[in-house]
Amino acid sequence: MTPFLEVEQRGRLLEIILNRPDKRNALNRDMCEGIVSLCEQAESDSSIGAIYWRGLGPAFCSGMDLDEASGATAEEDTAIHARLFSLGARLRKPIVCAVQGPALAGGLGLVANAHVAIAAHGASFGLTEIRIGMWPFAIYRALELAIGARRTLELTLSSKIFNTPEALAWGLVQEVVPPFELEERGETIALALANAPSETVLRGMGFVKESRELSHEAAMALALQVRAENFRSLDFEEGVKAFREKRAPRWPSNT
């Protein structure tokens, strides 16, 4: 594994920390491959319930490493970028992201691929690719799903930097906290998701993924199908029993 990522499993939570602070956590090839490999392995690992991304240093992530992006093998990175910036759409394990400092270009793509994102006061965001004659092709779809089509296009064309009030109002992040609370708050949220009933989460996340491109009628038919499956699940049985007994549930699918 690349030295530019710190990885730790805490109970059912997989924590991935960007560790290239001297380069503002710019994403080089090794980091992209490492994140993708870890997340795809987590998807099939029953001991992991959620994934938590954060960065070390003053910046969350400044985007792609331009030294590599301008090199002779830049086009070879297309496949790994496609896998990296579609993780949010492909994975059924929840991804939580905690943002300190700037999250620009590909860094913003990581935020958009998280299912839950929080930020520290003072964090900033931007699609800055057009300033170097590039378009945010790989991250565009994820950001469009996160904040809407017109907003994404305007931000791409203007390349303007926006801050936490806008990020919160537009739905890019769900919570803004003081910087000294960010790491602990992010971990608290991520651990709660990691310890949720895994079978229910997988079924629900799969429904969200599969229903997105369906018609309303087809999506409803799918919803009724997976709802019926959920009613028959051991997690639902335990959840109802725990509610009636006024105790914390002990999810069968997490054991």
- 94 and 144 together in one domain: yes
Which of the listed residues 146, 174, 194 is the one where a domain comes to its end?
A: 194
The 3-class SS string of the chain reads CCCCEEEEEECCEEEEEECCHHHCCCECHHHHHHHHHHHHHHHCCCCCCEEEEEECCCCCECCECHHHHCCCCHHHHHHHHHHHCCHHHHCCCCEEEEECCEEECHHHHHHHHCCEEEEECCCEEECCHHHHCCCCHHHHHHHHHHHCHHHHHHHHHHCCEEEHHHHHHCCCCCEEECHHHHHHHHHHHHHHHHCCCHHHHHHHHHHHHHHCCCCHHHHHHHHHHHHHHHHCCHHHHHHHHHHHCCCCCCCHHHC
pLDDT digit string (tens) for 74-88? 667 889 999 999 999
Give the CATH number of the domain where residue 218 resides.
Answer: 1.10.12.10
- Structural domain that includes position 10: 5-194
- 125 and 243 together in one domain: no
Tally of structural domains, the chain:
2
Give the CATH number of the domain where residue 171 resides.
Answer: 3.90.226.10
pLDDT digit string (tens) for 163-222? 999 999 999 999 999 999 999 999 999 999 999 999 999 999 999 999 998 999 999 999
